[in-house]
Amino acid sequence: MLKKFHREIEYCTYCPKLCRFSCPVGNATGNETYTPWGRQSLLHLVGEGAIPWGREVAASVYRCTTCMLCREYCDHELEIPPVMLAARAKAVKDKMQPQEAVEFKGFFAEQHNPMGDDLSARLHSLLPKSLFNPDAQVVYFPGCVMIYNYPQTIKNTFRLFEALDVNYVACYDADVPCCGVPLHDHGYEDEFKANAEKLSQKLAKAKAVVCGCPSCAWALKTMLPGVGVKITDRIYHLTEFLAPLVAEGKLPIRRPYPKRLIYHDPCYLGRYLGVYDQPRNLLNEVCREPLVEFSWNRNKSYCCGGGGGIPVSNPVLAREIAAQRLTEANEGEKKSVVTACPSCMRAFQKADESLEVLDIVDVLVRCI
C-alpha cells in the first residue's frame, strides 16, 4: 500500500528536515515526530523491518493537517499528505487506527455526515422550496460544515445570486450532505467510495457544481474521479463562480465594507485548487480599507489547523495551530479575519471566540 510512495519516504528520511519550519503540527507541538521528516522516518523504519507497524506509528500519521505547505518548501516537490492518507488507510485495514477514528466512523454512519444531525432537514428549513430543484443543471453544494455551522452564509449566498441576477443555481438538497473528505481523512477509503457513489447519483443531472467549501470542491473535482466515480468536471468554488460576475460590475454595491480585513488563504482553495486571486479581487471590489495580508500568504499560507481530521482526533492541537495563525490578526489595530472556507472559520472561532471571522460572501452581502 505504501510501496508506491517509496521515493517520498526515502527522500524525507534522508532530508535534513528542510520543510520542518513550515509544518503546522510540528510547530505547534514542537515534536520532531510530527513533522514530514519524523513521520516519514518512522514509515522508513517500518519498511526496513526495524520497528513494527503498530498503533504508535499509526497514530503519528494521523498528525498531519494535509495542508500541503511542506510541498512549497521542497525542491523535490514531494507531496506528503497522500502518503499520510495512504498510511491511514493501511492503519484502518490493519485495524491499527486510533480510537478517535473508529468513533468518528460510527458517528458519521448515523447521519452520513460528521455533524450527527439531519443536515438536509436543516437546509430545507433554511431556504425556500423554490431554491431546490432536483433537475437543475447548476447546483450550489454548501458542504456539511457550512450547513451545520454557517446557515446565514448559505442564505447570504443566495442573496448574492439574486443580486447578481443569477437565477439558474439551485441548492443541493443535502440528502447525502458530505463530500466524504472527513472519511478519507480518517483512512476510510471504502466508506469514502460508497459515499462518493451515492453523491454521484444525487448530482447526476448537474452540469456544473458550485461549492461553498474548498475541500468539497477538491473532493468533487479530483477525489471522486480518483476512485472511479463519475461526476461533471465543471466543479467550482464559489469565489471562482462569483469573481467574473462581480468584475463585470453586476453586483450592485451600495456601500463599501468599512472595517479592516485580513484575508486567510484556505489550504484547499489555494495550494490544492490554485485559487488565489479571485477571493482578493472580490474583496477589493467592496472594501474601503486596503486588504491586509498575513505574512504567510497565497501558496505559503499557514494552516488554520482545521484539516486532516485534526479537530476530531486532537482538538487541543487544532486550537494551538489556529492560535498561531491568528497571532498576526490580533496584533495592532483590530482586524476581522475573512476567508472562504467554513472549516477555517470554525477552526479560528474555536481558537478565539472574541474574533470576528467572516466568509467572503458575508462581506459582499453587507455591501449590497
Partner 1 sequence: MDQPKPKKPTNVELLNRLRDVLGGRRVSRALGDRLNYSHDLWPRSLLEIRRGEAPYRPDLIIWPETTEEVSRVLKVCNEMRTPVVPFGAGSGMCGGVLPVCGGVVLDTKRMNHIERISEESQVAVCQTGILGIHLEQELNRRGYTMGHFPGSFGISTLGGYLATRSAGQAATMYGKIEDMVLSLQAVLADGTVIHTRTAPRRATGPDFNHVLLGSEGVLAVITRAHMRLHALPAAREFRSAVFPKLDNGLEALRLMLRFGLRPTIVRLSDPADTSVTMKALGLSAQGCLLVMVFDGRSAQIELESAKALEICLANGGRDRGEEPARHWYNHRFAEHFRQSPLLAEQKMVLDTIELAATWTNVKPLYDAVHKALGRQATVLAHVPHAYPEGCALAFTVLCKVTTEDEFKRYDRLWQTAMDAALKNGGVISHAHGIGRQKVRWLAKQLPLALPLLQGLKRRLDPNNILNPGKLSVEVECPC
Q: Can you give the binding site for partner 1, defined by CB under 8 A?
A: 7, 10-21, 27, 29-33, 38, 41-42, 44-45, 48-51, 54, 56-57, 59-60, 73-76, 295, 316
Please identify, using beta-carbon distances, which residue of 22 and 343 lies nearer to partner 1: 22
Find out whether 58 and 91 touch, Cβ atoms under 8 Å.
yes
Residue nearer to partner 1 on the CB measure, 167 or 316: 316
Helix (H) or strand (E) holding 202: helix 189-202
Size of the chain in residues: 368
Question: Considering the complex, what minimum distance in angstroms separates the CB of residue 65 from partner 1?
Answer: 18
Phi and psi at 197, nearest 5°, equal -65, -40
State in angstroms the smallest separation of the CB of 61 from partner 1.
10
Spatial contact of 176 and 147, defined as CB atoms under 8 Å apart:
no
Nearer to partner 1, 51 or 194 (CB): 51
Assess contact for 236 and 214: CB atoms under 8 A: no
CB burial readout 83-122, b (16+ within 10 A) else e: bbbbbbbbbbeeebbbebbeebbeebeebbbbbeebbbeb
Please check whether residue 305 is in contact with residue 320, taking contact to mean a CB–CB distance below 8 angstroms. Answer: yes
Minimum distance of partner 1 from residue 70's CB (angstroms): 12
Residue nearer to partner 1 on the CB measure, 13 or 336:
13
C-alpha grid cell, residue 181: 473528505
Q: What's the rounded Cα separation, in Å, for the pair 252 and 309? A: 39
Q: Which is nearer to partner 1, 10 or 356 (CB)?
A: 10
Q: Least distance from C-beta 1 to partner 1, angstroms?
A: 19
The set of residues, in sequence order, having a beta carbon less than 8 Å from that of 309 and lying 6+ positions away, is 62, 101, 104, 182, 185, 186
| Smallest distance, partner 1 to C-beta of residue 20, A | 6
Question: How far apart are CB 176 and partner 1 at their closest, in Å?
Answer: 37
Quick one: 12 or 242, whose CB is closer to partner 1?
A: 12
Write down the number of H helices and E strands in the chain: 21, 8
CB of 50 to partner 1, least distance (A): 3
Q: Which is nearer to partner 1, 76 or 93 (CB)?
A: 76
Find the shortest distance in angstroms from Cβ 8 to partner 1: 10
User: Which one, of 163, 234, 223, lies nearest residue 195 by Cα?
Assistant: 223
Which is closer to partner 1, CB of 51 or CB of 253?
Answer: 51
